[in-house]
Structure formats: C-alpha cells, structure tokens
Amino acid sequence: MGPPGTSTALCSISTRRQYLPVSLEKLQHLIDMGRIDPEEPIDVTSFVHAGAVRINVFDRVYGIHLTDEFFRRGQPIPKRLLPPKDLVDMYTDPSKRGYLSDPNQIKEDRLLLAQKFGYELPDLTKGSRRALHRLRKDPRQIFFGLQPGWIINLTDRAVLKPVDAELQEFYRA
C-alpha cells in the first residue's frame, strides 16, 4: 500500500526496480574492444566501467536486461566493418591490445608489461581455461561462433546459412 490518497498502481510504478536494456550485439562489441572481460562476472558495474551506460543513483537501476532484438529482426548477421583509416594504427597496436593485432605480438607485449611492473603472468597453457584461451574470433565476426550471413531463428531454434555462392563470397570478403 502507498501513502494515503495515492493509488497502488502509481506507487508500484514509481518504486519498481529498473533494468537497463543492453543488446547481445553491444555486449559482444564491448568484449571485442577489451572493455569487458568475459572471464569475470558481468554486471551493471562492468557496463559502467566500460562506459556503455550511465547510472543516476536515483534511477533505481538494479541490473541489466540482456536483449536479443538483433536476432528477432530476422536479418542476416552483418560482417563487422573495418575501423576508419585514422584508427587502424590503434586497432593493430599490440601494446593497446587492438583486436586486429597479432596475438603472438600481444603475448610478447603482455610479458614486457609484466616485467616492467614486476608481476608474473598466469600460465594460460595449463589448467581449466587452456581451451578457452586458445579460441580466437575472426575480426570480421560480430558474435563468436556465428558467421556473417547466418540468420538465427529463435522460434525454431535454427541457424540458417546462405547456400548461394555469391552470398557466401560477399560475407567472406
């Protein structure tokens, strides 16, 4: 019950918890850019620190609502575009962990940074996360494991892949 003279419906609207809508596409983009670490729990704080959302403490935000509106549109997954020419150097720079940089060069830069600041890098070739660290996403993919040109049918739980040679070439290029 709310204060006297107010309807219960109005009170529940003004006091209910809010959840920020964030699309799977935006989450994948933040992971690709290295702004969110997929090996750590992802919560509202992760999105705030990544600069993806702004929160006013009076807005009653209690979490994130992960949406899949991209797949509901029934459109083929687009290929990721290459960065603008003036940003290519940044995205290919291994010291900045650019997503277009050579993974082997990134390993070397991580080691140099660890030596500079006096800490040891974890051995990623052993343990339960070994297989995870060996996986690589193609720079032209938006979603890991889903190729450009595929259509995701959520209702039938099916993945539709282009069979036309011209379409396959378009999404591969």
**b/e map of 73-98 (b: 16 or more CB within 10 Å)?**
eeebbebbeebeeeeeeebeebeeeb
Of the candidate ranges 42-51, 86-95, 163-172, the one whose mean pLDDT is the lowest: 42-51
pLDDT classification of 118: cutoffs 50, 70, 90: very high
The overall average pLDDT reported for the chain is: 81
- pTM: predicted TM-score of the whole model, two decimal places: 0.57
pLDDT digits over 46-67, tens only? 888 898 888 776 776 667 777 7
